[in-house]
Amino acid sequence: MVYFYCISPTTSNDVVRSLVSQLAWTLNGKEIESSIIDMFNDAQPPQSTEPTPEDWLKALLKLCQRVNKVKMVIDALDECRDFGRLLKTLERLKIERGNCVRFLFSSRLNVNVNKVFPESDGVILTVEDTSEDISRYIADEVRSKEEDIECNVEAAKKELINRINLALISFAGGMFKWVALQLAVMFPMDEQTFYPENIQVQLQNIENRTLNKEQSLNNAYGAVYTLNNKPGPYNSRVSMGLYKWLLCCKKALPTEEVVKIIELSLDNDPDFEKLTRNPLSTKVVLHCCSNFVIRSADDTFRFAHLSVEEYLVNYCGVKVEFQPEQCHFFVMKMCLALISTRITRPVSKQKQELVSNLQQRPKGSKEAEMLPQKRASPVERIHDSSFLKYSISYWAYHSRRVPFEIRSNEILYKSFVLGPKLSLSLQWWYSRIKARKFEETIDSQYPRNNAMFLSELPVPDQNLLESCLLMLGAVFDLPEVISNGLRGCGEGIDRQIFARRTPLLVAIYYGSPKSVQYLLDHGANPCLKSSGHGGGTDEGMVFWVTRQGSSHQTKVEERLKVEEILLNNKHSRQAFLNQLERSLMIHPEPLRAMKVLHQAEIETPVFANIIEKQIKTEGLGKLIDFLDCMNDENFDDEMVLGVIHFDSSKTVKRVFEFKRIEKVTELMVQNALKSDDPETFAYFMTEFDPGVSIQKLVIDEKLRRPEIWKIILAVKGSHFVN
């Protein structure tokens, strides 16, 4: 099942692109489908790098061919700016893959789905239907607050309640969330008494509004955000911590764990770390985030509505706090705070005292039950928790997404990886990685792959641990960690660890562009190679930048950034081009590799060599685009025969024009008779005088192909058979 929620200004391209991205992974979830990778690689300058709507549709069709059934859910279809085009696109998908594709749409009535899908079943919820539900909801909510409305005149109170109901119904437009926010503003949860004057002011604002629904919704969010934070900075810190966590966490954790994370953030907040606080609870957290966050059925926190995230990131008065770098910064600090405190205070003093006392008691004594119980710190309660595993697996993931100037000034980060000596916390983290104490689930492929590599590094002594800093920075793209490792590692920037892999090769493999740039600029040798695969494999830069595995879990853009750096950096450019030339035969994307070489103005004989070998196995194919880069003298007669045998008639015509061939030979006709494309033989028969005995060739070849016989009879006539 794939899903898309339309929100203005969504376009049909946005929807189809999202559907493609959701279906693009292979069925085992580990790699991207080759057809999508080819689509990306083919979009290279000078051609347009932006796929057309037709390209997206073709990609979607290919992806749907792999599975027996696909359910596509498009929510709020009317919010798509060109929903008509989207429906037409999906109609084509339905026509070509009708047996496997099912659609579910939700929309206002201005979208006529039945016009495109006449056999579809639909349920229409009228404004009256939703208004009835909303009215019932309002009545229940107001009834629960009725006793607290400060009004002694019963008729006036009833009139006020009727006005509330009428105003909210009239302006809701079927939007439950807007109604809930308006009620939260009218009846703040922290107040015991509600004054009619305040309620009437809010009603006037609703009745006199000139804003559209989206602006009105965001204004309502703003009012509720202010109310939630009104009690003081404690509420603000709690809610902000949870919002940041939800905006960037890689994995949902149980509510109890997230509560401990927020409490840990308060322990590390100068304004709260020395205060005596009551234990934080799920109930308190939900109170501080009222109408923004809910507790789901699987006991995790989530935003109450998709519009909450949009409000926080784009419209909130303190939206700068909810930008990706700030959210990752918050989670990074919490991960490092837990790991660091886990080392400096792995067991509480209270627990130590308890163990000591129990050891002194007679066996079976119950006096220990009388010992005073203190509130455990969040770190003690997170001991061996799922957040500890999360921190081990993802601290570097979050660090990578924080700008260098921010993370490098954070004391927790500096003490963890940038100290003059290898910190105890980092040594402990390495020990956990060695013990495979990290996330093993399929949805944590990125940290799992990286951690698996680091866990294979030998760690016998302090000096080797310092050199592991180079590998750590290379894997997670943290160049300042590499710099710190160089200061403490006596063997230099090219120290080879684990199958002779240098930090530069590791950074290339894991798609770490900043680390690649740093290593090259600080003297890394681009000519060194690893030796883990044997068999004479050239394990240099080209090998690792194209290597199947973890690099394909990294975003394709990161891999291309690394390649661009290797091409443009003065220290690596020539070595990379030389390796690329040697690797053309085994390069997974030879067409793109040849484009790189051509743009780098490598001598044209290189193209002749690779094209000749390509023709012998599968023909020119896409490499026809490089025909004009060659000298026709390098394209010999044997290569022409290969093209005739393996390629399409269209390619054959291009080669004949390129070589200025005016006459076909007996060998050419023989290869045309063997070709998979009979149009090549037709081209020879109609455009050239073969000058050879076709009858003899047909007899010699024992021709059995009816499509070739049709061509012969059409050109030569029935007397040819006689």
User: What pLDDT score does 157 carry?
Assistant: 87
Residue 646 has pLDDT above 80, yes or no: yes
Total residues found in the chain within this entry: 722
Q: How many CB atoms lie within 10 A of CB 520?
A: 21
d(CA 559, CA 565): 10
Q: Where are the alpha helices (DSSP H) in 71-186?
A: 83-96, 113-116, 127-145, 154-172, 176-186
User: What pLDDT score does 450 carry?
Assistant: 61
pLDDT in tens, 330-367: 999 999 999 988 765 444 444 454 445 445 545 444 44
User: What pLDDT score does 699 carry?
Assistant: 65
Crossing angle, helix 233-248 and helix 324-344, to 10 degrees?
Answer: 100
Could you give the percent of the chain with pLDDT greater than 70? 78
Q: How far is CA 118 from the centre of its chain?
A: 36
pLDDT in tens, 70-99: 999 998 888 888 888 899 888 888 888 877
The burial class, CB within 10 Å (0-12 / 13-18 / 19+), for 601 is: exposed
Q: Where are the alpha helices (DSSP H) in 569-636?
A: 573-582, 590-599, 605-618
Q: How many CB atoms lie within 10 A of CB 391?
A: 26
> What mean pLDDT is predicted for residues 414-423?
87
d(CA 672, CA 645): 6
pLDDT in tens, 461-512: 555 566 778 888 898 899 999 988 888 665 588 888 767 888 999 999 888 9
Residue 531 has pLDDT above 80, yes or no: no
For the ranges 215-224, 350-359, 462-471, 711-720, which has the lowest average pLDDT? 350-359
If phi > 0 it is left, if psi is from -120 to 50 it is alpha, else beta; for residue 291 that is: left
User: What pLDDT score does 407 carry?
Assistant: 94
User: What pLDDT score does 349 carry?
Assistant: 44
Q: Where are the alpha helices (DSSP H) in 477-604?
A: 479-488, 503-509, 513-521, 541-545, 556-568, 573-582, 590-599
How is residue 149 annotated by DSSP? Answer: B
Confidence of residue 534 (pLDDT cuts 50, 70, 90): low
Q: Which two tokens stand for residue 278?
A: 């009551």
pLDDT in tens, 599-619: 776 544 555 566 666 676 677
Q: How far is CA 363 from the centre of its chain?
A: 57
